[in-house]
Chain A
Amino acid sequence: MNSRTQNSNIFRRWFDGILSNKKALIGTYIILFFIFIAIIGPFFIQSPTEFLGTPLTPPSTKNLFGTNGQGQDVFAQTISGARQTLFVGFTTGILVVIIGALIGGIAGFYGGRIDDILSLIINIFLVMPGLPLMVILASWLPPGPGTLLGVLVLTGWAWNARVIRSQMMTFRNRDFVSAAIVSGEKNIRIILVEIMPRMLSLLASSFIGASIYAIGAQVGLEFLGLGDISTVTWGTNLYWASNDLALLTESWWTFVPTGLSIALVSFSLTLINFGIDEVTNPRLISERLWREKIPRNLIKDGVTPVLKNNE
Chain B
Amino acid sequence: MVTATAREAAAATPDPELPQLTIDDLGILRSVEREGDTVVATITPTYSGCPAIREIGVDLRRRLAAAGFARAEVRTRLAPPWSSDWITAEGRRKLAEAGIAAPHAAPHARGPVPLTLHPSRPQVACPRCGSARTVRTADFGATACKALYRCDECREPFEYVKEI
Partners in one complex: no
Residues of chain A having any CB pair with chain B under 8 Å: none
Residues of chain B having any CB pair with chain A under 8 Å: none
